[in-house]
Each structure stands twice: as C-alpha cells, then as structure tokens.
Amino acid sequence: MKHLSQSPTDPAFVQNPYPFYDAARATGDLFYWDEYDAICAVSHAAVSTCLKDKRLGREVPQEFRTPIPDHLAPFYAVEAHSMLEVNPPRHTRLRGLVLRAFTSRRISALEPEIRSLSHDLIDQFPTGEFDLLAAYARTVPVIIIARLLGVPEDRADDLLAWSNAMVSMYVTGRTRAIEDRAVKATEDFVAFMRAHIDDRRHAPADDLITQLIAAEEDGQKLSTDEMITTCILLLNAGHEATVHTLGNTVKTLLERDIRHADEATVEEALRFDPPLHLFERWATEDVTLFGHTFKRGDKVNCLLGAANRDPAAYPDPHTFDPTRKGPVNVAFGGGIHFCVGAPLARLELRVALQVLFERCPTLTLASPPTYADVFHFHGLTDLKVRV
C-alpha cells in the first residue's frame, strides 16, 4: 500500500483538495495517509464498501479505547448517546425511535415554511456587497431546525454559537482553547435542551421534541440524555453540512453563470463539492477488503470528497453536470449510518436555492470565495455577492 504525505492544513490543499485525491486514487483503492497515521479509502467502490460493511463500525472496540481526559468528559458524555457514534444493537434502537418522529411526512410539510423564510431573509438583503453566508445560508437551516424541534428561534444565535464550538472538535489541529470552548458550549446546550424537554413533558406541542418523547419501540423509549444528544446531533450535523453545501453550491453555480436549481442540481452539487470529506470507521472484527486485512481495532478513513470525484464512477468527474448519470453520491454517508437528516437537507437546499435565484436573477460574486481551514469539513469562510 502506498504511503502519501499531505498536510490537511496546507493552504493549497484547503482551497482544492481534489488533485491530492486524484493522486491518491491513482495508487489504488486504499492508501496510507501519513499525517493521519491511517489507511484511507479513496475510490468510490472502496468508500461505498467501507461505509456499508457491517464489520466496520463507528465505535472503537472497547479494548482499544484510550481514556478520556477529565476536561473533555462533558463533551464525550453527550457523544456517548449519539446514534452517529454507536454500533448495533444500540444504534438500531436509537435510529428506529428517532425515525418514528423524524418522518418524511413531517419533513415534507416544512416546504412552505422554508420557502417563506427564504423570502423573508431575501427581503432583508442589504444593498451593495454583502456576505450571503451570514445573510442567508447560515440562517435558513438553524431557524428551520429550531422550528422543527420546537425551541425558540430567537435563540438562533446561541444555537449557532454552540453548534460551531462543538463541531470544531472534529477539525484537524484542534487546540486546548477549541476544546474548552466546545465543553462550555456542550454544557450550555445540554442545559438549554434539558429545560425544553422537561417543559414538553408537561406541555406537549406539535414539534419534534414532543414526538421524540412519545416515540416508543418494543416498549422502549428514549431517555432524557438520549433525547438531549439527539436534538444536539440534529442541529450540529444538519446545520453545519447544509450551510457548507448552500455556500459551496452558490459558488459553483455562479462561477458557471448558472442561476437556477432543481433536485438534479442539488444532487450534482452534493457530489461535486460535498460539505464533509472524511468519515471514520473501525474494524469490529478481522476483515479483508481491497487486498488489505484490517485487524479488529484498525481504523479506515472514508474520503467522501474523493469518492465523489472518482472517474470510474463518474466520467469527467471534475465537470459540474446536473444531467449526469451514475451511482448515488456518498455526501450523506452510507449504510446504517446514512444521514438521518438527508431528506431535510435536500429539501432545504432545493427550496433555498430556487427562491434565491427566483428573487435574485442577477446575483453575482463580488470577490473570489475562499475555503476555510476546517478539514474534515469543506466550506467557505464567506461568500461576498451583489444582487
């Protein structure tokens, strides 16, 4: 297996990681990324397989876990209840209960609200040059998830701040200062959600928290701690990815003088420049894949951004083409951990983009956008535009 070196914080890589992915993929389905000290799946076939193989899970096997530092205990206490971080059978139970509340019918019913919110935000666009991320892309997802959960949307700024601080724990090169901010945000977020869940136990409403309280499967319900973590997960994972995708997509479309969007455009945008580029799996038993034997406890990094640009799956992969055919992109993961919020994200993206271009047909970039140094995520620092 080929060893390759590439700093994930190198400015050239941050702005365009795809040439490195191409070079890595040319060595085979798997390669060893020195900076991560880990094997990476880089082809579409390898990434898809690793995401779906049940012998690769999200939890580090017990005997390979390292002690959690005392100062990070509050953060990981919340993570311990996340369906994103656990394996079956606990994952099966948690996801099943969440899906009883997070139904396609409930998601579809949000379309008029997303459309109305998009119009309201566009009505408030300033004249001249402004940052579309701040004025639009960051606001749509956080307001919608607040309404869906049933928490006050006037706390959107707090929700955003807590989400950003917690998600920073997954950025390459995190520091003690980042960790301390994440822990403080975790404690504030947990207190906020606990209070609202307690309120809903006494005063049910037509919102997701009430539905989560009511959800039951085989006589089991979500505990309060599981509900708190689920609500935090829905906001953090759903919001972060949707903001990045909205920004990346508008950038991609405007650079190509495209000012319309439909479902096919959204899918191609998710393939072309996805919001998350790396997702970890751990071998729960010895397994041989693509010529390599992973021992129990070994890690494999699934490079989602690389898989989505694999020419074996998508001819001429560096061309943005909403009419293209091919396999489903892996922007939302795959297998049992496929993103539970994918239907909501797709709906938000389609509606927010449609309304934006309907209302702002002359929207143009005011300056070349740059990507933030936040790998494993992939999103812009800002998006300066003129209407």
Q: What is the pLDDT of residues 176-202, one digit of tens each?
A: 999 999 999 999 999 999 999 999 999
Backbone CA torsion sign across 2, 7, 8, 10: negative
Element (H, E) at 358: helix 342-359
- 118-140 mean pLDDT: 96
**Would you place residue 240 in the very low, low, confident or very high pLDDT band (cuts 50, 70, 90)?**
confident
Q: Six-digit token pair at 100?
A: 């009883």
Domains: count for the chain:
1
pLDDT at 189: 95
Looking at the chain, the whole-number percentage of residues with pLDDT higher than 70 is: 99
**Distance between first and last Cα of the chain:** 50
- 247-274 mean pLDDT: 97
C-beta separation of 356 from 385 below 8 A: no
Q: Got the DSSP string for 183-208?
A: HHHHHHHHHHHHHHHHHHHHS--SSH
- 76-85 mean pLDDT: 91
pLDDT at 220: 80
Element (H, E) at 45: helix 44-52
C-beta separation of 112 from 220 below 8 A: no
C-beta separation of 18 from 273 below 8 A: no
**Would you place residue 99 in the very low, low, confident or very high pLDDT band (cuts 50, 70, 90)?**
confident
48 has pLDDT over 80: yes
217 has pLDDT over 70: no
CB atoms within 10 A of CB 270: 25
pLDDT at 221: 85
pLDDT at 176: 94
Beta bridge partners of 276: 377
**245: Cβ–Cβ under 8 A, 6 or more apart, which residues?**
269, 270, 274, 275, 331, 345, 349
**Would you place residue 218 in the very low, low, confident or very high pLDDT band (cuts 50, 70, 90)?**
low
CATH code for the domain of 226? 1.10.630.10
68 has pLDDT over 80: yes
- 322-337 mean pLDDT: 94
**176: Cβ–Cβ under 8 A, 6 or more apart, which residues?**
none
Question: What angle (nearest 5°) sits at the alpha carbon of residue 206, between those of residues 202 and 207?
Answer: 90
Q: What is the pLDDT of residues 291-301, one digit of tens each?
A: 999 999 999 99
For 243, the domain range is 3-386
Q: What is the pLDDT of residues 138-186, one digit of tens each?
A: 999 999 999 999 999 999 889 999 999 999 998 888 899 999 999 999 9
pTM: 0.94
| Cis previous bond, 61, omega within 30 | no
Dist. CA 324–CA 318, nearest whole Å: 12
**294: Cβ–Cβ under 8 A, 6 or more apart, which residues?**
39, 56, 283, 286, 287, 288, 300
pLDDT at 237: 79
